[in-house]
Amino acid sequence: MKKRRSGRRWNRCSVSGHHQHALSSFARFIGRNMGLHFPESRLPDLAQKMTALGREAGFDDLDHYLFQLMSAPLTQEQMKSLCGALTIGETYFLRDPKSYRALEQQILPGLIAARRRGGKTLKIWSAGCSTGEEPYSIAIILSRLLRDLPEWKIKILGTDINEEALERAQRGVYGKWSFRNAPEWLMEYFTPLGEGHFQIVPRIRHMVHFSQLNLAGDLGSALTSGTDIIFCRNVMLYFHPELIETTVARFYAALNQGGWLFVGPTEVDHQKLVGFNCHHYDGALVLRKGERRKTPRPSTKGAGAPPAAEGALLTDVSPARPGFDASASAPHVDLPGSVEQARAAYECGDYQQAARLALSAPHLPESLALAARCYANLGRYQEAREQCEKALLLDRLDAHTHYLLSMILEQMGEGSAAEAALKHTLYLDHDYLLAYFALGNLCRKRGELREAEQSFANALRLLQRYDPAQVLPDAEGITAGLLTQLIKGMNAGLNRR
C-alpha cells in the first residue's frame, strides 16, 4: 500500500514562487538525466505533469516528491514513469513523406548499388523511434527496393528512452490513427486483427530490432557504430543546445563515412555543424557525413613530449570505442594503387571490396590496418583482430595500430586485453589524447573510479593545448570544448557514486 505524504498541496495549473526553486532544480535534473529541456516558460506544464505522477506515487507535497526523485540516481521504474509522463510519442507511418521519398529515390539506390559489389550489408538507426512506426516504415521501403532481400544482411535499429513505447513497437500492433495520411498500398504489409487494429507482417517485423537507449546518456558503441543512415526527426526539439551539439556529434561518430542523417528542419543550427554537408531533396533536408577537416596541430615545442598522435580518432564520444576510419593512419606515404583504391572503396562504404584490395599488399602494415578497419565496420571482429595483429608484427612501434587493436578487443568483450593495448599505445605515445579518454572509459565501466579520474585528468591536460572551438585532429569532427565538457560530465558522475 502506498504511503500518503502529508504537507502542502500544490496548485496543478500554476507555479507559485514557493515551488519555483524545486521545479527549476528538477528541470535541470531531468535535463542532465533524460535530455528533456523545460525552460522557465514551461515550468507550469512540468508542474502539471508531475502532479499526476506524484499522486500516483502517494505524495501530496510537490517539493517533497521532486526532491525525493533528485536525492538518488533514478531507478528503472522511476525512469519508466517519467518517460511516460514527460515524453510525447506522436508518430505514424510514413510521417513526413518528403523525407521518405528522398530516402527511397535519392539515397538508398546509390548505397544499395555500392553494397551490391561486396558485403550486401546495411545498417539504419531510428533514434527516438517511439512506438516503432518510423523503423517499420524504413523496413517496408527497403523490402520494396530489394527484390533479393534474403541475400542481404540488414540491421534496422529502433531506440527510445520510453520502455512502454518500445514494448508496443515490439508487438507491432497499431490502430487506425497510425495510418493517417498513409497510401493504400501500405496496408499490404499488415494483417487485420479486428476492432480497427492491424499487425505488421512477420517478414517486416523481423527486420527491426528495438533497444532502450537514452540519448542524454552513454550511447553503446557496439549498438550504434558503423551506421549508414540515422533518422532522428522531431526528437531534439526540446533538448538543451549543449545536448543537441553533443547528440549530433555522437551521430556523426556512429555514421560510416558518407553516411546520412535525417533531422527535423528546425532542430539543429546548420551553420554550426562540423563535418556534415547539407543536401536538399524536394523539400527534404538531409545531412551527409563529409570529408574530415584537416586541423593544424598546436605546437608542443618545449613541452618535453612528442606531438599528439596523428592517427587518433573518436567515433563515439560516450563509450570507449572510437571507430574505424580508413583515413586515420600514420602520416601519408605513397602506397600501391590497389591500396589507394581500397581507401576510395572504404570512403564509399564498400568495406568488403576495400578489405580485398587492401589485402593485395599484405607486406604493408598500413594496408593490413586498413583491412582491419574494414572488417571491424562489418562486425567481423575476429578477422579485424587478426589483420591488426599481423600489422603489428610488421611494425610494433605504431601507436595508432595498438590503439585500433584496443578498440577491436573492447568490442570482443576482452576488456583486460583492450586495456593492455591502450597502455601500450600510451607507452609509445605519451600524448595520445584519445587513448587516455578510452582508458578512462574502460576504468569507469569497471568501477575503478580513481584510475578513471587519473586518465580523464591526463586527457583534460592535453585538451588545454587546444582552443575550445578547434576540431581535434582525427577526432571525427569533435571540438576540444565538446570533449572537455563530456569528460567533466563523466567526472561529475564519478563523484556522485
Of 11-20, 229-238, 263-272, 283-292, which gets the smallest average pLDDT? 11-20
Res 161: pLDDT:
85
Assign 290 a pLDDT band (cuts: 50, 70, 90).
confident
Order of all β-strands in the sheet with 197-200: 173-175, 197-200, 190-194
Cβ distance 388 to 404 under 8 Å? yes
Assign 292 a pLDDT band (cuts: 50, 70, 90).
very low
Buried b (16+ CB within 10 A) or exposed e, 254-290: bbbbbbbbbbeeebbeeeebbbbeeeeeeebbbbbbb
Q: Per the domain annotation, does 4 fall within a domain?
A: no
Q: Per the domain annotation, does 3 fall within a domain?
A: no
Domain tally for the chain?
4
Q: What is the chain's mean pLDDT, rounded?
A: 79
Q: Give whole-number Cα distances, 409 to 67, 320, 403, in Å.
A: 42, 11, 10
Q: Is there a single domain that holds both residue 139 and residue 54?
A: no
Res 334: pLDDT:
45
Q: Is there a single domain that holds both residue 271 and residue 130?
A: yes
Give the model confidence (pLDDT) of 345-371 as tens digits: 777 667 788 888 999 988 898 999 999
Within 10 angstroms of residue 63's Cβ, the number of other Cβ atoms is 18
Q: Is there a single domain that holds both residue 75 and residue 53?
A: yes
C-alpha cell at 205: 517485423
Give the model confidence (pLDDT) of 415-468 as tens digits: 889 999 999 999 888 888 888 988 988 888 888 888 888 999 999 998 888 887
Cα distance between residue 450 and residue 427, in whole Å: 20
Within 10 angstroms of residue 68's Cβ, the number of other Cβ atoms is 15
DSSP 313-363: --S-TTTT-----TT-SSSP----HHHHHHHHHHHTT-HHHHHHHHTT-TT
Q: Is there a single domain that holds both residue 61 and residue 143?
A: no
Helices (H) and strands (E) in the chain, counts: 20, 10
pLDDT of 472 above 70 = yes
Res 446: pLDDT:
83
**Structural domain boundaries, residue 449:** 295-323+398-497
Cα distance between residue 452 and residue 434, in whole Å: 13
Q: Is there a single domain that holds both residue 441 and residue 346?
A: no
Cell 532502450 belongs to residue: 212
Assign 319 a pLDDT band (cuts: 50, 70, 90).
very low
Q: Is there a single domain that holds both residue 285 and residue 162?
A: yes
Res 89: pLDDT:
61
Within 10 angstroms of residue 448's Cβ, the number of other Cβ atoms is 15
Assign 476 a pLDDT band (cuts: 50, 70, 90).
low
Q: Is there a single domain that holds both residue 113 and residue 184?
A: yes
Q: What are the backbone angles phi and psi of residue 287, rounded to the nearest 5°?
A: -100, 135
Q: The pTM is what?
A: 0.54
Cβ distance 461 to 292 under 8 Å? no
**pLDDT, greater one: 162 or 320:** 162
Radius of gyration of the chain (CA): 24
pLDDT of 186 above 90 = yes
